[in-house]
């Protein structure tokens, strides 16, 4: 027994020495490859690859080929119970969502799983030399590989056909030097090598915190505080109302300023800045810059003319449009973030519907009341600005 234990330990040591693993990192995602001696000579046997990434990714993929079209891709996401990973082999056609194709015969090996902050897939591929649309010669000196990933709410699924969202700007291609990957005799070369992922994991964690803070604060501004400021000026009637309105809108504006800063940071980090959600958010930010001045001008002119002027209509029109577009934009943000589990979508929708309807109701009610009052002479003298300026 003692001898056998010793022999095994020796074999383990030998395997370690010969486990040739080549690791490539793209940002905080690392890909490893190991080509056994036998498969590099005969080009017909198993190869091994590893995908290791922070678990804050929705999915992370490695692919054989030089572009999506015609590539064989391996998409990793968390398994249904969140403890392990699913690796789905897919074939690329054009830039469409790649479709599952099991010909490559993948086996998930020991050492795979969601381990602390990381998700790791150690995979044996038994039929990776050719696939629908391409082939790869593992006895050659190098070949082209691609990678892509999507940051955001994790997919937790055992379904090899699970729907995935399009990647952000984190995708690319590189030529993998096979010389450094060749020569292992191990049946799981990654068991003997520690998981390498750069410490950017902490950045991913803090990115998720910023994402939730951004969504929460922007929503607070556009779903709650701006609408309350609008509702008050429409339905309330007390001394100094205009300043309560101005104060609330400035508060909402400041909350949005912080959310805006975080949004810009989120967008530039992923190159999402050209997407509809950030573009609309930036447009709203710029448009809202002029609102205080317009509100002030309305107020001044109203005190002189005792009626709505062009300033009033601009201030009111821009304000109403901005609030409603902002509410819709939050929905686009949730879509961009890929909230597939609807953890944030449902509360957002409920708050948006409640405050959206309350706001629209207040506008309708206020304008109807205003129209009713219009022929009233006394009203004209007092003005239709709903606050009184004592």
Ligand X SMILES: *[C@@H]1O[C@H](CO)[C@@H](O)[C@H](O)[C@H]1NC(C)=O
Q: Which positions lie near ligand X, rule CB under 6 A?
A: 83-84, 103, 105, 108-110, 112-113, 127, 130-132, 199, 202
Q: Which does 277 bind (CB under 5 to 8 A by kind): ligand X, ligand HEM, none?
A: ligand HEM
Interaction between residue 58 and ligand HEM (CB under 6 A): no
Site for ligand HEM in 222-251 (CB under 6 A): 222, 226, 230, 233-234, 242, 245-246, 249-250
CB of 202 to ligand X, least distance (A): 4
**Overall size of the chain counted in residues:** 390
Task: Report the residue from 155, 298, 311, 340 that binds ligand HEM according to the rule CB under 6 A.
Answer: 298
DSSP helix/strand/coil, 123: strand
Token reading at 241: 């109302």
State the Cα angle at 110 between 106 and 112, rounded to 5°. 75
Say which residues have a Cβ less than 8 Å from residue 201's Cβ, sequence separation at least 6: 28, 54, 117, 118
Site for ligand HEM in 277-296 (CB under 6 A): 277-278, 281-282, 284-285, 288, 291-292, 295-296
State the Cα angle at 31 between 27 and 33, rounded to 5°. 155
> How many chain residues bind ligand HEM (CB under 6 A)?
58
Dihedral sign (CA 113, 114, 117, 123): positive
Between residues 131 and 253, which has the closer beta carbon with respect to ligand X? 131
Token reading at 195: 């998981």
What beta strand segments (E) does the chain contain?
22-26, 29-36, 47-54, 57-64, 72-78, 85-91, 99-100, 106-108, 113-115, 118-125, 130-131, 134-135, 142-151, 171-177, 182-184
Cα separation, 123 vs 300, whole angstroms: 71
The answer to whether the beta carbons of residues 108 and 123 sit under 8 Å apart is yes
Task: Report the residue from 121, 215, 352, 356 that binds ligand HEM according to the rule CB under 6 A.
Answer: 215
Cα separation, 379 vs 375, whole angstroms: 8
Cα separation, 316 vs 339, whole angstroms: 33
CB of 114 to ligand X, least distance (A): 7
Say which residues have a Cβ less than 8 Å from residue 130's Cβ, sequence separation at least 6: 136
The answer to whether the beta carbons of residues 344 and 330 sit under 8 Å apart is no
Helices (H), 271-309: 276-289, 291-305
Between residues 19 and 252, which has the closer beta carbon with respect to ligand HEM? 252
CB of 357 to ligand HEM, least distance (A): 13
Q: Which does 144 bind (CB under 5 to 8 A by kind): ligand HEM, ligand X, none?
A: none
Q: Per-residue x/- mask for ligand HEM, residues 323 to 362, rule CB under 6 A?
A: x--x--xx--xx-xx-x----x------------------
Interaction between residue 131 and ligand HEM (CB under 6 A): no
Q: By Cβ distance, which residue is nearest to ligand X?
A: 113
Q: Which does 182 bind (CB under 5 to 8 A by kind): ligand X, ligand HEM, none?
A: none
Between residues 43 and 335, which has the closer beta carbon with respect to ligand HEM? 335
CB of 92 to ligand X, least distance (A): 13
Cα separation, 237 vs 60, whole angstroms: 56
Token reading at 25: 């990192």
Between residues 109 and 279, which has the closer beta carbon with respect to ligand X? 109
Interaction between residue 254 and ligand HEM (CB under 6 A): no
Between residues 129 and 312, which has the closer beta carbon with respect to ligand X? 129
Token reading at 49: 């690859």
Site for ligand HEM in 303-322 (CB under 6 A): 308, 312, 315-316, 319-320
Task: Report the residue from 267, 311, 340, 352 that binds ligand HEM according to the rule CB under 6 A.
Answer: 267
Between residues 188 and 249, which has the closer beta carbon with respect to ligand X? 188
Q: What are phi and psi of 189, to 5 degrees?
A: -60, -20
Kindly list the residues in this chain that would bind ligand HEM in the complex (CB under 6 A). Answer: 151-152, 211-212, 214-215, 218-219, 222, 226, 230, 233-234, 242, 245-246, 249-250, 253, 260, 263-264, 266-267, 270, 272, 277-278, 281-282, 284-285, 288, 291-292, 295-296, 298-299, 308, 312, 315-316, 319-320, 323, 326, 329-330, 333-334, 336-337, 339, 344, 363, 366, 385
């Amino acid at each position: 027994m003692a001898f056998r234990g010793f022999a095994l330990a020796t074999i383990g040591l030998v395997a370690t020495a010969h486990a040739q693993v080549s690791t490539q990192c793209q940002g905080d995602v690392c890909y490893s490859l190991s080509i056994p001696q036998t498969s590099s000579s005969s080009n017909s046997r198993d190869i091994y690859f590893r995908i290791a990434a922070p678990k804050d990714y929705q999915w992370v993929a490695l692919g054989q080929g030089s572009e999506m079209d015609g590539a064989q891709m391996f998409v990793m996401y968390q398994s249904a119970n969140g403890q392990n990973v699913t690796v789905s082999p897919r074939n690329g056609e054009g830039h469409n969502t790649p479709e599952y194709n099991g010909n490559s015969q993948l086996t998930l090996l020991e050492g795979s799983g969601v381990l602390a902050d990381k998700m790791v897939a150690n995979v044996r591929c038994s039929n990776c030399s050719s696939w629908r649309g391409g082939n790869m010669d593992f006895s050659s000196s190098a070949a082209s590989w691609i990678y892509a990933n999507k940051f955001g709410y994790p997919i937790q699924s055992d379904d090899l056909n699970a729907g995935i969202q399009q990647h952000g700007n984190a995708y690319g291609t590189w030529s993998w030097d096979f010389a450094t990957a060749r020569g292992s005799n191990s049946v799981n070369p990654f068991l003997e090598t520690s998981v390498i992922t750069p410490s950017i994991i902490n950045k991913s964690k803090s990115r998720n915190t910023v994402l939730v803070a951004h969504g929460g604060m922007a929503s607070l501004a556009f779903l709650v505080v701006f609408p309350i400021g609008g509702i008050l000026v429409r339905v309330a009637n007390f001394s100094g109302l205009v300043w309560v309105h101005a104060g609330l809108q400035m508060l909402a504006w400041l909350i949005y300023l912080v959310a805006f800063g975080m949004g810009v940071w989120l967008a530039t980090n992923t190159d999402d800045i050209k997407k509809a959600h950030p573009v609309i958010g930036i447009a709203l930010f710029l448009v809202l810059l002029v609102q205080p001045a317009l509100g002030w001008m309305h107020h001044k002119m109203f005190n002189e003319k005792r009626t709505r002027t062009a300033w009033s209509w601009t201030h009111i029109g821009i304000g109403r449009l901005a609030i409603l577009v902002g509410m819709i934009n939050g929905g686009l943000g949730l879509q961009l973030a890929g909230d597939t589990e609807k953890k944030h979508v449902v509360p957002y929708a409920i708050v948006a519907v409640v405050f959206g309807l309350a706001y629209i109701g207040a506008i309708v009610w206020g304008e109807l009341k205003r129209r009713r009052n219009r022929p009233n002479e006394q009203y004209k003298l007092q003005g239709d600005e709903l606050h009184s300026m004592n």
